[in-house]
A = this chain, B = another copy of it.
Amino acid sequence: MSAIRLLVLGAVRQHGRAHGYQVRNDLEYWGAHEWSNAKPGSIYHALKQMAKQGLLHAHEIAPSTAGGPPRTEYEITERGTEEFFSLLRESLTAHDQKTDVLSAAIGFIVDLPRDEAVALLKERVRGLEQWRASVTEYYTPEEGPQSLGHIGEIMNMWVSSADFGAEWTRGLIRRIEEGAYTFAGEGEPFVGVRAEGDENPYATGEPHEGDLG
């Protein structure tokens, strides 16, 4: 699973109602074009697809206020909301995911209650630890570690990554448990979208030096 569906669902959800370009802009505001495959084509495709699947409801709208082709506005449905939370929970707990999925999930983590967020992250750590154990056991050949040659470096990288990921997650859990950030049901939510007309301080036309590709 790529991160695009989660990102798009979450963006539409925060707006209540949004057209493609708005979503596109939010994702850029979040830096998502730097760590995920959030290209225009993917976004519009995801919107259409999820509308077809009943996760979003499409409103055909008159020509836009500011040039360009007519826009379609989308609203998240109940099924869409369920799907959003399902994706979010899965993305937070599953260790076997690419970085972009986790990044996206962190971006929406405050849409969950604080307790649940912590519980899910703890499950993530457990998963990482288990996976680390199973990899080291499974890929440790009887002929000694040298029989793998440099291929062993790949295993080494996985295992180290797992350790790093677990450690980082523990840090995040600690911060959340100590009261950082504002979670669902704790009053004024964090505003993660720009108001109309607000300028985006992080957006530049071309990806800046240091793009994640």
Contact = CB atoms under 8 A, between A and B. Distances in A.
B154 A106 contact: yes
Interface in A132-178: 134-135, 138-139, 141, 149-151, 153-155, 157-158, 160-161, 164, 168, 172, 175
Contacts of A131: 209-210
Interface residues of A, number: 48
Interface in A72-125: 94, 96-99, 102-103, 106-107, 109-110
A208 B138 contact: yes
Contacts of A153: 106, 109, 172, 175
A181 interface: yes
Nearest to A213: B96
A30 interface: yes
Interface string A186-211: 00001010000000011000001111
A98 B161 CA distance: 13
Top 6 A-B pairs, shortest CB-CB distance: A96-B213, A134-B210, A131-B210, A149-B190, A150-B181, A164-B164
